[in-house]
Amino acid sequence: MIISAHNSKVQLVRSLLGRAKDRREAQAFVAEGVRLVEEALAADWPIRFVLYGGELSERGQELIKKLKTKSIDSEEVDERLLQALSATETSQGILTVLDYFSLPVPTDPSFVLIPDSIRDPGNLGTLLRTAAAAGVQAVFLPPETADAFAPKVVRAGMGAHFRLPILSLSWKQIHARTGGLKVYLAEMEEAISCWEADFRSPLALIIGGEAEGATPAARQLASQQIYIPMPGGSESLNAASAGAILMFEIIRQRAFAK
Domains in the chain, CATH or no CATH each: 8-99 (3.30.1330.30), 111-257 (3.40.1280.10)
How many beta carbons lie within 10 A of that of residue 202, not counting itself? 15
Buried b / exposed e over 170-192, threshold 16 CB at 10 Å, is: ebeebeebbeebbbbbbbeeebe
pLDDT at position 170: 97
Q: Residues 174-190: what's their mean pLDDT?
A: 91
Give the model confidence (pLDDT) of 58-88 as tens digits: 999 999 999 999 999 999 999 999 999 887 7
Identity of the amino acid at 198: D
Give the pLDDT of residue 258: 64
pLDDT at 153 over 70: yes
- Residues of the chain with pLDDT > 90: what percent? 84
Statement: residue 196 has pLDDT above 90 = yes
CA–CA dist 187, 227 (Å, integer): 5
| Sequence-ordered alpha helix ranges (H) in the chain | 8-16, 20-26, 34-42, 58-69, 79-85, 121-134, 151-157, 171-177, 216-221, 239-257
Q: Which of 108, 115, 149 is nearest to 130 (CA)?
A: 115
Q: Cα separation of 16 and 146, whole Å?
A: 15
pLDDT per residue as tens digits for the range 206-251:
998 876 778 999 999 999 999 999 888 666 789 999 999 999 999 9
Query: What is the pLDDT at residue 187?
Result: 84
**What HEC string does 27-45 produce?**
CEEEEECHHHHHHHHHCCC
Kindly report the average pLDDT of the chain as a whole number.
Answer: 93
Give tens-digit pLDDT for 5-28: 999 999 999 999 999 999 999 999
With a pLDDT cut of 70, the percent of the chain lying above it is: 97
pLDDT band at 158 (very low <50, low <70, confident <90, very high): very high
10 Å CB burial of residue 78 (0-12, 13-18, 19+) is middle
pLDDT digits (tens, 9 = 90+) for 39-56: 999 999 999 999 999 889
Question: Could you give the 3-state DSSP secondary structure of residue 1?
Answer: coil
